[in-house]
Structure 1
Amino acid sequence: MWKISSLKTCFDEIEETKGDDECRAWLSRILDAKVELATFVATRRGGGRATEYAGFLKGSFNFSFRFKFRDGGPDAIIRFPKPGHTATALRDEKVANEVEVMEYLRQNTTIPVPRVHSWGFTSESPQQLGPFIIMDYIQGTPLSTVLRQPPKDDQVDVVLDPGIDNSTLDKIYGQIADYLFQLSQLTFTRIGAISRDGDTWSVTKRPLTYNMNELVTVAGYPDNLFPTSAFDRASDYLRSVADEHLAHLRTQRNLADDRQIAQARFIARHRFAQLIPKYCTDDAGPFIPFCDDLRPSNMLVDPETLQITAVLDFEFTNAMPAQFTYDPPWWLLLSGPELWLDRGSMSEFRDLYQPRMEQFLRALELREGMSAPEGQKLAEPRLSTRMRDSWRSGRFWFDYAARKSFELDAVYWAALHDGGIGIELLDDEARAEMGLFVEKKMGQLRTYKDECTARFS
Structure 2
Amino acid sequence: MTAYDMIAEADSDDECRLWVRKLIDARDDVVAFVDSRLDGQGTGKYLGFFKGSFNLSFHIGFGEGKPSVLIRFAKPGHTFMAWRDEKVTNEVRVIEYLREHTTIPLPHVRCWGLTDESPAQLGPFIIMDFIEGVRLSTFLKEPSEDDQADLILNPAIEEATLDTIYDQLADYILQISQLEFSSIGAISKDARSGTWSVTGRPLTFNMNELATNTGYPADQFPNAPFTRASDYFHALADHHTLHLRTQRNLSASNDEPDARRRFIARHQFRQLIPKHCTTTDEGGPFKLFCDDLQPANMLLNPTTLRITALLDFEFTNSAPAQFAHDPPWWLLLRGPDMWLDNHGSLDMFLERYVPRMEQFLKALERVEAKGEGGGGGEVGRDGSVVMAMGGGGDCGRRLSARMRESWETGQFWFDYAARTSLDIDDIYWAALHDNEVDGDGIDGLDAATRAEMEELVKLKMEQRRAYNEAYDIRFPDDESE
* Equivalent residue number for residue 346 of structure 1: 346
Q: 1:425: Cα distance to partner?
A: 2.7
The match for 2:415 among 382, 399, 406 is: 399
Q: 2:398 aligned with 1:386, yes or no?
A: no
* Equivalent residue number for residue 256 of structure 2: 259
Question: Hey, what's the Cα distance between the residues in 1 that align with 2:146 and 2:130?
Answer: 33
The match for 1:193 among 186, 195, 211 is: 186
* Equivalent residue number for residue 129 of structure 2: 136
Q: Which amino acid aligns with 2:319?
A: M
* Equivalent residue number for residue 215 of structure 2: 220
Q: Which amino acid aligns with 2:304?
A: T
Sequence identity of aligned pairs in percent? Answer: 58
Question: Hey, what's the Cα distance between the residues in 2 that align with 1:303 and 1:255?
Answer: 42
Q: What is the 5 A alignment of 1:231-250? A: 231-250=226-245
* Equivalent residue number for residue 431 of structure 2: 415
Q: 2:304 aligned with 1:305, yes or no?
A: yes
3-state SS in 1 of match to 2:169: helix
The match for 1:63 among 46, 50, 56 is: 56
CA 1:169/1:284 → structure 2, altered by over 3 Å: closer, same or farther? same
Q: What are structure 2's unaligned runs of at least 5 residues?
A: 378-385, 389-395, 477-481
Q: 1:155: Cα distance to partner?
A: 4.1
Q: Which amino acid aligns with 2:346?
A: M
Question: Hey, what's the Cα distance between the residues in 2 that align with 1:190 and 1:274?
Answer: 24
Question: Hey, what's the Cα distance between the residues in 1 that align with 2:184 and 2:448?
Answer: 30
8 Å Cα contact 1:45/1:134 also seen in 2: no
Q: Which amino acid aligns with 1:335?
A: R
3-state SS in 1 of match to 2:82: helix
Q: 1:398: Cα distance to partner?
A: 0.4
Q: Which moved more, 1:387-396 or 1:45-54?
A: 45-54
CA 1:264/1:40 → structure 2, altered by over 3 Å: closer, same or farther? same
Q: Which amino acid aligns with 1:129?
A: L
Q: 2:22 aligned with 1:33, yes or no?
A: no
The match for 2:271 among 270, 274, 284 is: 274
* Equivalent residue number for residue 291 of structure 1: 290
Q: Which amino acid aligns with 1:68?
A: G
* Equivalent residue number for residue 4 of structure 1: none
Q: Which moved more, 1:216-225 or 1:145-154?
A: 145-154
Q: 2:97 aligned with 1:78, yes or no?
A: no
3-state SS in 2 of match to 1:49: coil
CA 1:50/1:410 → structure 2, altered by over 3 Å: closer, same or farther? farther
8 Å Cα contact 1:56/1:64 also seen in 2: yes
8 Å Cα contact 2:35/2:44 also seen in 1: no
Q: Which amino acid aligns with 1:421?
A: D
8 Å Cα contact 1:270/1:426 also seen in 2: no
* Equivalent residue number for residue 123 of structure 1: 116
Q: 1:431: Cα distance to partner?
A: 1.7
Question: Hey, what's the Cα distance between the residues in 2 that align with 1:21 and 1:451?
Answer: 17
8 Å Cα contact 2:187/2:196 also seen in 1: yes
Q: Which amino acid aligns with 2:405?
A: D
Q: 1:381: Cα distance to partner?
A: 1.5
Alpha-carbon deviations, 1:305-364, whole Å to 9, x = none? 010001000000000000000000000000110111112121111111000000000000
Q: 1:429: Cα distance to partner?
A: 3.0
Question: Hey, what's the Cα distance between the residues in 2 that align with 1:59 and 1:430?
Answer: 42
Q: Which amino acid aligns with 1:218?
A: N
Q: 1:89: Cα distance to partner?
A: 1.1
Q: How high is the TM-score relative to the length of structure 1?
A: 0.97
Q: 1:378: Cα distance to partner?
A: 4.0
Question: Hey, what's the Cα distance between the residues in 2 that align with 1:194 and 1:142?
Answer: 27
Alpha-carbon deviations, 1:115-145, whole Å to 9, x = none? 1111111111111111111111100000011
Alpha-carbon deviations, 1:371-410, whole Å to 9, x = none? 1147444433210000000000001000000111100000
8 Å Cα contact 1:271/1:425 also seen in 2: no
* Equivalent residue number for residue 144 of structure 2: 151
Question: Hey, what's the Cα distance between the residues in 2 that align with 1:338 and 1:366?
Answer: 30
* Equivalent residue number for residue 365 of structure 1: 365
Question: Hey, what's the Cα distance between the residues in 1 that align with 2:148 and 2:470?
Answer: 31
CA 1:432/1:102 → structure 2, altered by over 3 Å: closer, same or farther? same
* Equivalent residue number for residue 381 of structure 2: none
Q: How high is the TM-score relative to the length of structure 2?
A: 0.92
CA 1:186/1:267 → structure 2, altered by over 3 Å: closer, same or farther? same
Q: What are structure 1's unaligned runs of at least 5 residues?
A: 1-7
Question: Hey, what's the Cα distance between the residues in 1 that align with 2:151 and 2:425?
Answer: 23
3-state SS in 1 of match to 2:203: coil
* Equivalent residue number for residue 473 of structure 2: 454
